Chain A
């Protein structure tokens, strides 16, 4: 099976712009979760989608949003970009909702740089 893919792999934006990142889960997986990784804050959970509905949410402002399509592909949107949004954004997929019952498989990440 193909692994989790994320596009684009690298992205440069300027402050105030918005950005959309995409995540394609492993075939058959219905849960997609998103994470932000920075040197200062480490790994932080953004949100999880399962069957097109947001099921869990981390402590991020409303500028961070996401959605999931009927084919389980997911997008994450960040509006009004700030310098502090520069990070590696990871997504992961699994078959089940939540984190306890099934193994998550991570993508390679999208490196976002905000200038």
Chain B
């Protein structure tokens, strides 16, 4: 069965420190991978997609097919990055699956 795991429920870093949110997936074929973010009292929103190879708000995500990982990284965390982050995977004809989420807390 398709599965997305995020090993950390909570990740705390200091402002200006690098941050890495881990995501691993178990999927047949080559799924599309996504990161979603939900800031406090705001709607869920798409942060970035693997297929776009984009950098949004300073975040990037590298797909490692060998390790089946899609970790989210930012070199210098900001307090406004504090939020809930969800990794997700989708393959045509299969379920669209979310990970359990990681709460990022950026401390001043």
Contacts and interface: CB of A to CB of B under 8 A. Distances in A.
Contact of B95 (A33, A58, A98, A107): A58
A64 B96 CA distance: 16
B32 A99 contact: yes
B43 A107 contact: yes
Interface residues of B, number: 19
A45 B96 CA distance: 6
Nearest to B32: A100
Contact of A98 (B45, B88, B92, B100): B92
A62 B98 CA distance: 21
A53 interface: no
Nearest to B44: A106
A56 B43 contact: no
18 contacts: A3-B43, A33-B96, A42-B98, A42-B99, A42-B100, A43-B86, A45-B97, A48-B96, A59-B95, A92-B44, A98-B92, A99-B32, A99-B90, A100-B49, A104-B46, A105-B43, A106-B45, A108-B43
Interface of B: 32, 34, 43-46, 49, 51, 86, 88, 90, 92, 95-101
